[in-house]
Structure 1
């Protein structure tokens, strides 16, 4: 519901800037509509004796209607938005997720409570499981479960959806949170962009917004109470901030900034098909990080293959764990679509706490510190059958392109050897069964904990390639949880310790003659990319849309100049000194690529 009629104009307030997270790039200026969901209060009541069966049937009927809403939405947009409906597909599967359904039905029967109450309690149980997941990306997937549960709840109470339509003029939409389906419905000339109180840059809502080219800022706390329908707002999706009640001068400045970005983006399209090499002839592979098996963006942005495919997505959808055939199909199709470019698939990087609901035989106790617990390669080595199933699918798919296997969170040589032994055992099984595979499939490891950096020489002697995962390496090295609001500001990619560990890892890998890539967020940031390139990385892997920007920087550089820059930065004693050096280098060498950010505040 809107908090007032859109036509009602309020007296302008004082200009105010609020900070959030960049959900999707772009700048828009317009009137805001504050959208809130109608809350009639959660119905909670005990069932009459013998009424549980009818209540279960009412719940399943609501599930069926919710499923049909999603199917209809997919059919409506599948031709125009083919690259985003995969997320809707995941929600269609999630509607029938056994954990969501079985837990709710069980509560209806055992507690003799109504479906709405049971569904809310189920959501709380699931949230506790997600809260103890260390990986930011996996933890953020709870939003998808919440969207689906909300849709079912709406079908239970007959509210349906009233979002968002019928605007007389183009508007900016604000709300507590929007689902990916909400965002798809914004694909209209009446919605300029949106902002939310919740969410992050890796949420499916943000992914859809970027795919649609819809400017968005997410995670702006208190925004729905700070602005009212009819207020003028600037959404700066580049920097993740919004301006309430902006002056006319601020509006003109932001629109000019957006125009410059659009001109620059148009120029970027020229670089998509060009080689990723420096002026003096050094080639660096620029590849893509993806989380769903959709290679369309990888191809569109000119990536040299996939540097990181997060295989967890397939394990978090549907009512059961994926079997070998379904995994094989996904891996085969990606490898074949991008051949002969490499497709690097990270094995399951998830904690046992997330899968224990589907594997009750695990009998895992709650971990006090899951970030340092049973996750990633540790979990795979404990649950051998699960690991072997994934490895079988990977090896079978290896015949269809250049598929590479990447092991996450390796902290010792013994872990690498144990994982390799499992893979070699699977190879023997496949050979005995007469199942073809590539026996020379490359096996790499992620360098994302300090012990792996210290042992990089030994690890490089037994791995085929390294991939530096700076997102976790920074957190583990600096003892910083970037999802913790109290210390997130201390998450520092330019910390001297971080840069020196990256350099040490590259040197260790190259001494053993193996390639070293980097797949953290630093790779796609044109501010940090110059020093990474100067350190001698063989590959940078990033979100697909960042590739043309990094490629442009690379093609206007010489490796000699980048090497000098990296050497200077490595000598810096703190990150502010390193940032000053990079600012100076970028402003002198790429003045048209880096616009002064401070003048807009």
Structure 2
């Protein structure tokens, strides 16, 4: 009998085939170890780390020409984690305190994973999966456990509780049609890799997925986020037709990804990328990004015992800016604070750190942190630099921030250096208060960038990191769209441009609505750029504006998504 299970769309496309349950060896070594001589344990850990490095190097060599840069960058980041000095310092200290190598490694990596999972930015939450991936790899090496999972010998739809990045990147593409997960989420690195490898994927299907027996015929719909078990013949025929159409559309989108972002009537829409490293910058350029709408800088501040110096930051910014070759880049100043217990912050614990002393609130308490970052950014002289401040809630905050920028420019010119000629100062709109007072902020900033992830969760009072309520924080909810409309209506008369850098910008369903609301720039993960450009080419400005007005009249995010499908142009 046919049955449908609903989850979270991860990677688009349709997969049809028999089900296969993935079983992965788990490293159980650790708490059962008997502590030994510290030098012996250090030697064991060093041998395991070296073996883990060799395994990752082998994967990278094998996949070098099969994966895009953003996917390879994930594994390269894991290699760097194995040599992270702060991590190794903590592990070594624990070993000398009497712990075994596996216990010390497990506890140190658990702490880092927990810290990353608590961050408000989904990009950094996703890094927790990398840490756990590395944790298990080293523990397997310590315990002599084989890492190979057992895959089917013929094409199947893969079912699993969850996947870590190194598993996703090594999937045998000739035998894996799609991925269905009990857990998981839309911002994980495994999701990025699934999209990069063109694998339809759905997460959050829950324990009901375990009711599917191996070899059961299923249809996995990565666009709708559902899996159909034992489909009837009519459903199969329809799914195969949709599958063929999707493959044709993907091929066409990839062929035109380097073309400018524009609508069918020639209206230009800047399509930019969200990045967090030099590897991401390289991937963005190759994917057709016309700029960077969000450069996250938290990676400079995390997993260390001292804050980054001006010189260290300057070198990293220069490396990234060189790769961008003059394209405009929006740099978000650090969004760290009470929810990220870095040792050098010396902040007291907070009951609700997500709404506590973080981002610019921390900067006002410890202005030297912000001054150092501003000095490093301005020293680059990058001609199209745009500096953006997160978590702005009041006009007083933005006035204070402008004063810090002016002071940094004065320091720069006193040294005989010239500030970036096209410098712009902007703010993120992620707090409803900022959206509602946009006409006042427009007198002080040069641009707005809307962080739809936080704006949605704060507007709808739903923690997007909590699986029980995450579905409520859908940024296509009409209440969120109305806030976006209000920002645009306040910004444009003042001559300010508005971008969107949240996950919504990379959603092909949402993109025409955002453009119809008047958004000037959409910034997204590099892998999403070809599909969004292709979708926008189907819409005229008039059609997108009509769609947006109809969307504002709907009563739910689900109704908005249905509206887009109903009004999609047929070209």
Q: What is the TM-score when the length of structure 1 is the normalising length?
A: 0.85
Residue in 1 aligned with 2:148?
162
Q: Give SS of 1:106's match.
A: helix
Decide whether aligned partners of structure 1 residues 465 and 53 sit closer, same or farther in structure 2, where only a CA change above 3 A counts: same
Equivalent position of 2:158 in the other structure:
173
Contiguous gaps of at least 5 residues in structure 2: none
Q: Is the 8 A contact 2:26 2:136 kept in 1?
A: no
Which of the residues 77, 90, 100 maps onto 2:63?
A: 77
Shift of 1:94: 1.0
Residue matched to 2:24: 37
Which residue is 1:282 aligned to?
267
Pick closer, same or farther for the CA change 1:125–1:537 going to 2, 3 Å: closer
1:143 matched to 2:129? The reply is: yes
Give how far 1:275 is off: 4.3
Query: Structure 1: how far apart are the matches of 2:568 and 2:177?
Result: 35
SS at match of 1:44: coil
Q: Is the 8 A contact 1:45 1:114 kept in 2?
A: no
Q: Is the 8 A contact 1:346 1:406 kept in 2?
A: yes
Choose 452-461 or 275-284, whichever is displaced more. Answer: 275-284
Q: Does 1:349 align with 2:335?
A: yes
CA contact (8 A) 1:95 1:148 kept: yes
Contact residue 450 and residue 498 of structure 2 kept, 8 A: yes
**When the two structures are aligned, how many residues end up with a matched partner?**
569
Shift of 1:565: 4.3
Q: Kindly report structure 1 stretches of 4+ aligned residues shifted beyond 6 Å.
A: 317-320
1:161-203 residue CA offsets vs partner (Å, 9 max, x unmatched): 12356x4323333333322222221154233333333322221
Which residue is 1:235 aligned to? 220
503-512 vs 213-222, which moves further: 213-222
C-alpha separation in 1, matches of 2:84 and 2:319:
25
- Aligned mate of 1:119, from 105, 128, 132: 105
Counterpart selection for 2:356 from 362, 373, 384: 373
Does the 8 Å contact 1:97/1:319 carry over to 2? Answer: no
Cα distance in 2 for residues equivalent to 1:205 and 1:97: 22
Deviations 1:540-577 (CA, angstroms, capped at 9, x unpaired):
2233444444444544444344434444544x27337x
Alpha-carbon offset, residue 148 of structure 1 = 0.8
Distance in 2 between residues matched to 1:318 and 1:361, nearest whole Å: 9
The within-5 A match list for 1:436-515 is 436-438=418-420, 440-515=422-497
Give how far 1:320 is off. Answer: 7.3
| Separation in 1, partners of 2:270, 2:450 | 15
The answer as to whether partners of 1:198 and 1:220 remain within 8 angstroms in 2 is yes
Query: Which structure 2 residues correspond to residues 228-267 of structure 1 after superposition, within 5 A?
Result: 228-267=213-252
Matched ranges for 1:35-434 at <5 A: 35-39=22-26, 41-45=28-32, 47=34, 51-81=37-67, 83=69, 84-110=71-97, 112-164=98-150, 167-222=152-207, 225-269=210-254, 271-278=256-263, 282-293=267-278, 294-316=280-302, 323-356=309-342, 360-399=343-382, 401-434=383-416
Question: What is the CA–CA distance in structure 2 between the aligned matches of 1:475 and 1:263, rounded to whole Å?
Answer: 36
Query: How much is the aligned-residue C-alpha RMSD, in angstroms?
Result: 3.1
Q: Distance in 2 between matches of 1:239 and 1:459?
A: 38
Distance (whole Å) between structure 2 residues aligned to residue 575 and residue 431 of structure 1: 52
Mapped contact 2:506–2:532 kept (Cα < 8 A): yes
Judged with a 3 Å threshold, the aligned counterparts in structure 2 of structure 1 residues 98 and 242 are, in CA distance, closer, same or farther, namely: farther
Distance 1:43 1:518, change over 3 A: closer
CA distance in 2, matches of 1:585, 1:144: 35
Ranges in structure 1 where 5+ consecutive residues have no aligned partner: 1-13, 593-601
Contact 2:86 2:304 in 1 (8 A): no
Change (3 A) 1:575 1:184: closer
* TM-score scaled by length of structure 2: 0.89
Contact kept? 1:96, 1:318, Cα under 8 Å: no
**Paired residues of 1:176 and 1:198 also in contact (CA < 8 A):** yes
What SS does the corresponding residue of 2:177 show, helix, strand or coil? strand
Query: Could you tell me how far apart the structure 2 residues matched to 1:206 and 1:296 are?
Result: 19
- CA 1:115–1:340 in 2, change beyond 3 Å: closer, same or farther? closer
Work out the CA distance in 2 between the residues paired with 1:564 and 1:57: 66
* Residue of structure 2 in register with 1:6 after alignment: none
Residues 335 and 398 in structure 1, CA contact (< 8 A), matched pair in contact too: no
How far apart are residue 467 of structure 1 and its match? 0.9
CA distance in 2, matches of 1:470, 1:232: 37
